[in-house]
């Protein structure tokens, strides 16, 4: 690792092969992957349909540039707009870039209204990426630390607090948009409460602001619906997706509807790689596989099964604060910091993650078998109980 910058605190393991929900390391040890590369490999590893599609695409055409029409990009734009009830798509290579496009759209929207310092409301516990723009789009000082001067144009409010947004509407005239994750991932699996997104939608409508959802982690089926905001019956003007969209092939998209969909014009935004035939073929195959195998229904089934397993062992247990989440995005908040659980789970052959210091996070793939779902709930509960008892 000497030639790599120390950006990551890595676990001492090297994965060399995957199949479905399983991974194998160099020594041949098997792991149940309950993290999916952080919400990415929703269809599992070495998914046969994806492998076949990508092989065919690689043999035919990988990249041409956005100087030309790209049929695969058009088809994926159509598919995403259909499942998200959006009108137009801009393709890029990551989640942070999708949010950058959203932020640029919000600023264009503000300047069109002659607002010189367009400002976006974000959440104190948000995570929107690691670019200079997206680290400014959070109130989380840890993410910003060391990288000042912070890009201006954001103001943060507590999550699930519509009154705080209403107050800003009364006190400021430079707000142009609200950017929210319908379920906060890195912030600790914080689910938007019933009525919150609708209340924010209402405030946005009253003031001519754009409502922008970051569905990068909770979208693409993870919540049991294509997108979490659909579970709330609230439509955004702009939405960012990435992570599971390519099942591991880097791709992101910013979707928009109404006037927001027409703000990006030739020369105002762009990317070399974004929306290339290879990445778009991955996205098309992912959508097609989720639909043809009814995986949205399966996510809900698996969620019920895993939650029953977790609740039967952990609910109301001393040391456990709450089990929460939606679909296959599940967080178990403990009373004490629990980062050490990640290594213990690794030893036990289970891949999990801890976020916001005290929240055990699982983001399993949609293709788990019932046996794997039971194994996950059982192993994880045992590890958590042992951990609580040893601290
Ligand atoms: C992962 C994530 C991002 C950033 O995506 P990258 O592909 O890492 O740039 C943004 N928003 C949310 C909600 C995420 O989970």
Q: Which atom of ligand 1 is nearest to the CA of 99?
A: 10
Query: Percentage of the chain with pLDDT > 90?
Result: 99
- Catalogue all structural domains in the chain, each as residue range(s) with its CATH number: 15-33+294-390 (3.90.1150.10), 49-292 (3.40.640.10)
Query: Taking a C-beta distance cutoff of 8 angstroms, is the pair 129, 118 a contact?
Result: no
Mean pLDDT in residue range 246-258: 98
Helices vs. strands in the chain: H and E counts, helices first: 13, 17
- Examine the pLDDT at 239 and tell me if it is beyond 70: yes
pLDDT digits (tens, 9 = 90+) for 152-196: 999 999 999 999 999 999 999 999 999 999 999 999 999 999 999
CB of 127 sitting under 6 A from ligand 1? yes
Query: Taking a C-beta distance cutoff of 8 angstroms, is the pair 209, 175 a contact?
Result: yes
Query: Taking a C-beta distance cutoff of 8 angstroms, is the pair 47, 247 a contact?
Result: yes
CB of 213 sitting under 6 A from ligand 1? no
- Examine the pLDDT at 75 and tell me if it is beyond 80: yes
Helix (H, G, I), strand (E, B) or coil at 191: strand
Q: Which atom of ligand 1 is nearest to the CA of 217?
A: 15
How many angstroms separate the CA atoms of 257 and 32, rounded?
Answer: 39
Helix (H, G, I), strand (E, B) or coil at 351: strand
CB of 214 sitting under 6 A from ligand 1? yes
How many angstroms separate the CA atoms of 355 and 189, rounded?
Answer: 8
How many angstroms separate the CA atoms of 127 and 170, rounded?
Answer: 26
- Examine the pLDDT at 1 and tell me if it is beyond 70: no
Report DSSP state, residue 333: E
Query: Taking a C-beta distance cutoff of 8 angstroms, is the pair 54, 249 a contact?
Result: yes
Grade residue 148 by pLDDT with cuts at 50, 70 and 90.
very high
- Examine the pLDDT at 391 and tell me if it is beyond 90: no
């Amino acid at each position: 690792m000497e030639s790599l910058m120390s950006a990551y605190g890595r676990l001492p393991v090297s994965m060399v092969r995957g199949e479905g929900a399983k991974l194998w390391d160099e020594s041949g040890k098997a792991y149940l992957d309950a993290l999916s590369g952080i919400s990415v490999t929703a269809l599992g590893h070495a998914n046969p349909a994806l492998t076949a599609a990508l092989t065919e695409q690689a043999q035919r055409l990988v990249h041409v540039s956005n100087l030309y029409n790209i049929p695969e990009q058009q088809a994926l734009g159509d598919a995403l707009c259909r499942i998200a009830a959006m009108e137009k798509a801009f393709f890029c290579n990551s989640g942070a870039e999708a949010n950058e496009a959203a932020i640029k759209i919000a600023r264009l929207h503000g300047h069109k209204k002659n607002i010189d310092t367009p400002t976006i409301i974000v959440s104190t516990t948000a995570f929107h990426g690691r670019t200079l723009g997206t680290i400014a789009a959070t109130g989380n000082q840890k993410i910003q630390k060391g990288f000042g001067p912070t890009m201006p144009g954001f103001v943060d409010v507590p999550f699930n607090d519509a009154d705080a947004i209403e107050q800003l509407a009364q006190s400021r005239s430079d707000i142009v948009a609200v950017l929210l994750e319908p379920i906060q991932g890195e912030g600790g699996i914080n689910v938007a409460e019933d009525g919150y997104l609708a209340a924010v939608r209402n405030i946005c409508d009253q003031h001519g602001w754009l409502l922008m959802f970051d569905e990068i982690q909770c979208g693409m089926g993870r919540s049991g619906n294509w997108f979490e905001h659909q579970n709330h019956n609230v439509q955004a003007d702009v939405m960012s997706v990435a992570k599971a969209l390519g099942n591991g092939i880097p791709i992101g998209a910013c979707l928009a509807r109404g006037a927001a969909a027409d703000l990006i014009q030739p020369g105002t935004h762009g990317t070399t790689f974004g929306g290339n035939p290879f990445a778009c073929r991955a996205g098309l195959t992912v959508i097609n596989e989720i639909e043809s195998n009814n995986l949205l229904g399966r996510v809900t089934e698996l969620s019920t099964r895993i939650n029953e397993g977790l609740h039967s062992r952990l609910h109301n247990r001393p040391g456990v604060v709450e089990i929460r989440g939606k679909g296959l995005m599940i967080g178990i908040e403990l009373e004490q910091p629990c980062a050490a659980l990640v290594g213990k789970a690794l030893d036990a052959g289970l891949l999990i993650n801890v976020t916001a210091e005290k929240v055990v996070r699982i983001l399993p793939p949609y293709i788990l078998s019932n046996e794997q779902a039971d194994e996950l709930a059982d192993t994880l509960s045992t590890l958590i109980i042992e951990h609580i008892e040893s601290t």
